[in-house]
Amino acid sequence: MIQVIKQRHSVRTFEKKTISLDDEKVIQKIVQDGMQEAAPFGTPVKLYFLRNKDAHSPESKKVGMYGYVKHVPAYLTGSTENTKTGLLDFGYVFEKAILELVKRGFGTVWLSGDFDNEDLENFAREGHVVPVMAPVGYPGYKQSLKERFLRMKQEASDRKKHEDLFGFNDFSTPVDKSHPYYEVLELVRLAPSALNKQPWRVLVKDDDFHLYLKRTEKFPEQVADSEMINMGIAMRHIMIGLESLSHTGQILMDDAAPRPEGLEYVASIHVNS
């Protein structure tokens, strides 16, 4: 999964092809595996595969909070409790499904916000939300002018520096490249985030990762907290990194974790040697 994370990019223009029946079986298996996984905080997360009824419209279509997409044959979406732990669990589970899709050659992009889709109304029970839709299809070979403009506007390839996101013992001390967890943190730096705001901050102390949320000012109002979902994605990337080092981790709420000013404590990951 390390290479998948490093090579993944957002795809918003797809080939004019429907998802084959064989490929749909592959996707449905990913969906079922995702729902069977135990989420960190035990929230039931539902995943859904939807074929797009308007896949070959000649016009690009704006979906959710941002993101023009074109020739989308299908979507992956899901529902969860509209709570902090529910959204963390959703980001954690959904990101694994996205990575599994990319690993198998499908193109995807995270799109968050409010969705105008009648099919979704049946998915969200009372107290639950559908916070994300991810187009799924075969990547188009040529990037549209609109896609290039959007990518430039969001500065998708211009990510924050390592030292701006992570700290060793405190946030005034960067995590040196010689630190055994440096590459684990690099996987977080490469994670997708709503509007590419990269709100995660991670403090490494001994064998603990403490995760914090740096709230984005004037973030668009939504039905669900996209930035908390981003933190679930970050947790997944840390766990993937630890697995590559043959470690396991325990995700928990740690009352003793530092509470730096200006940051919202989210969760901690304790590394089991």
Per-residue pLDDT tens digits for 225-254: 899 999 999 999 999 999 999 999 999 999
Residues 106 and 40 in one domain: yes
pTM assigned to the model: 0.88
For the chain, percent of residues with pLDDT exceeding 70? 83
Q: pLDDT tens digits, residue range 96-105?
A: 999 999 999 9
Question: In terms of domains, do 14 and 87 share one?
Answer: yes
Whether 95 and 173 map to the same domain: the answer is no
Residue 175, pLDDT > 80, answer yes
Could you tell me if residue 176 is inside a domain? yes
What are the Cα distances from residue 73, in Å, to 36, 52, 65? 25, 5, 20
Residue 209 in any domain: the answer is yes
Same structural domain for residues 231 and 185? yes
Q: Report the CATH number at residue 204.
A: 3.40.109.30
For residue 203, pLDDT beyond 80:
yes
Q: Output the six-digit token pair for 40.
A: 């960190």
**pLDDT at 157 > cutoff 90:** no
Q: What is the CATH number of the domain that holds 68?
A: 3.40.109.10
What pLDDT does residue 222 have? 74
C-beta neighbour count of 56 within 10 angstroms? 13
Does 216 reside within a domain?
A: yes
Is it the case that residue 153 has pLDDT exceeding 90?
A: no
Is 154 among the domain residues?
A: no
**Residue 221: predicted pLDDT:** 73
| Average pLDDT of the chain to the nearest whole number | 86
Alpha-carbon dihedral sign for residues 8, 10, 13, 16: positive
Residue 156 lies in a domain: no
Q: What is the mean pLDDT of residues 57-67?
A: 51
DSSP notation for 77-111 = EEEEESSHHHHHHHHHHHHHHHHHHHHTT-EE--E
Whether residues 187 and 66 fall in one domain: no
Indicate if 178 and 247 belong to the same structural domain: yes
Among residues 121, 149, 177, the one where a domain terminates is 149
pLDDT at residue 117 in the model: 55
Number of domains comprising the chain: 2
Please say which residue of 93, 128, 149 terminates a domain: 149
Residue 146, SS3? helix
* Range(s) of the domain holding residue 15: 2-149
Question: What mean pLDDT do residues 2-15 have?
Answer: 89
Pairwise CA distance, residues 92 & 266, whole Å: 13
Identify the pLDDT of residue 5. 93
Q: Coil, helix or strand for 229?
A: helix
Domain check: are 128 and 210 in the same one? no
Same domain assignment for residues 110 and 26: yes
Q: How far apart are CA 188 and CA 166, in angstroms?
A: 10
- pLDDT at residue 156 is higher than 50: no
In a domain, 8, yes or no: yes
pLDDT at 148: 53
Q: Is pLDDT at 155 greater than 50 in this prediction? A: no
Residue 23: band (very low, low, confident or very high) from pLDDT cuts 50, 70, 90 = very high
Mean pLDDT check: name the lowest of 110-124, 126-140, 212-226, 255-269. 110-124
